[in-house]
Amino acid sequence: MNIKAPRGTEDWLPGRSERLRRLLDIIVHRAQLYGYDEVITPIFEHTELFTRSVGEATDIVQKEMYTFNDKKGRSITLRPEGTASVVRAFLEHQVQAQSQPTKWYYHGPMFRYDKPQAGRLRQFHQFGVEVLGSEAPEVDAEVICLLIDILRDLGLTNYEMHLNSVGCPECRVEYRKALINYIEPFRQQLCADCQRRVDINPLRVLDCKAVGCQDLMSDYPPIYDYLCPHCNQHFSQVQALLETVGVKYELDPGLVRGLDYYTQTAFEIHIKGIGAQSAVGGGGRYNGLVSELGGSPMPGIGFAMGLERLLIALELSGVAMALAPQLDAFICVLDAHNARQGFTLLKELRDAGFRCDQDYNQRGLKAQMRLADKKGARLVIILGEDEIREGTCTIRDMQEKNQETMPRDQVLNYLKSRVGTR
């Protein structure tokens, strides 16, 4: 049998999985400080949810969804992103009727059938937040500040924040015309995808990664000249708020994001050198999405971060994440007849909150010491023949390389004094 994990998916073995857990702990802590609560939605949804929200013309819907029919012939899709599911849950559970805004965070695996490469996977992990029920520019600034604070908590400083406003459907009528006028003379030279995009959503052409299209589009009209007074004012207020709290950003009129639901504020965080794609996070407003999915009109905004890309960025920048300690103690029992005494001590220490383990395969002392070392145990508690007879145990400090023998009932206090109270 030679079955491997599907291309673009990864196993997270201990060590790396611990880094992911720690990364999430740091991020979730900050989101909770900002007053966000966790929401958990299914990993698969009805396909229509994503076609209606993410948009028919997007690469995600056109090429990247894992879609299949279930046994009753219903079209199901593994979620390519979290926003659509969160809004669906918000509506399905009538949260819209409660006082607003609703501030939720989520994390978990997302699925996109993309070409795998460094930092681009078919199953990847996102952390995201969504705020529903407020159009206030302060909410845009809060969401961006949360993203920036998370990066600061992680020790990442080498990022660029790109900011744009993609306007509302009203501003887009004129902007769409301006873009089509600009594109028309070289339309036939665009890639096949973009030629199709021009009619469905010409803004998507700005997001094309093909070098030929990027060259042709280099002189595109910026959207700022087409923003309606309301969107213009909102965008200015968001910028003023960010400046007030010292958040640095670059205006990027070409930033349209890869999903169709965005209106007004759009932003992305880039870190160079992490792979072919430098975006570690991105998001924006989606004031039309709630009504698109059947609710009464209600504004929303959020972002998502790619956790694999954040880990790559952390590795490259040499930022050490303080990982949880490994084992506090490893118990070495030297005679199988005494296994029960070892097991009792193990249970007692675990009940007191210490991270402990022991050997179950009757290895000799040397092999058990090697195992304890491999598991990163701070202390090794030896229960040999003498210790069993005398009701003692010998404790070796693996860091300080010394050992002492003490009565069994003193072990707990000794552990507390060496590795702290748990």
Binding site for ligand HAM (CB under 6 A): 81-83, 112, 114, 119-121, 124, 126, 128, 130, 258-259, 279-284, 302-306, 308-309
The least CB distance from residue 261 to ligand HAM, in Å, is 8
How near is the Cβ of 308 to ligand HAM at its closest, in Å?
Answer: 5
254 HSE (CA, 13 A, CB side): 12
CB 51 within 8 A of CB 61: yes
Q: From CA 238, how far away is CA 253, in angstroms rounded? A: 15
CB 280 to ligand HAM: min, Å: 5
User: 28, 241, 217, 74: which is closest to 142 by C-alpha?
Assistant: 241
Nearest approach, Cβ of residue 89 and ligand HAM (Å): 14
Q: Give the residue with the Cβ less far from ligand HAM, 7 or 340.
A: 7
Residue with tokens 């491997």: 4
Chain centroid to CA 87: how far? 18
Shortest Cβ distance from residue 257 to ligand HAM (Å)?
6
Instruction: Give 333-337 contacts, CB < 8 A, sequence gap 24+.
Output: 333/358, 333/359, 333/383, 334/365, 334/382, 334/383, 334/384, 334/385, 335/384, 335/385, 335/388, 336/362
Q: Which is nearer to ligand HAM, 161 or 331 (CB)?
A: 161
Nearest to ligand HAM of 45, 308 (CB atom): 308
Nearest to ligand HAM of 101, 128 (CB atom): 128
Q: Which is nearer to ligand HAM, 125 or 396 (CB)?
A: 125
Smallest gap, in angstroms, from Cβ of residue 9 to ligand HAM? 11
Nearby residues of 64 by Cβ (< 8 Å), 6 or more positions away = 80, 112, 113, 114
Which residues have C-beta within 8 Å of that of residue 66, sequence separation ≥ 6?
A: 77, 78, 80, 111, 113, 122
Give the residue closest to ligand HAM by C-beta.
Answer: 306
Sign of CA dihedral 203, 205, 206, 208: positive
CB nearer to ligand HAM: pick between 112 and 204: 112
Rounded least distance, CB 285 to ligand HAM, Å: 8
Q: 299 vs 306, which CB is nearer to ligand HAM? A: 306
Secondary structure of residue 33 in the 3-state scheme: helix
- Measured over the CA atoms of residue 335, residue 340, residue 343 and residue 348, the dihedral's sign is negative
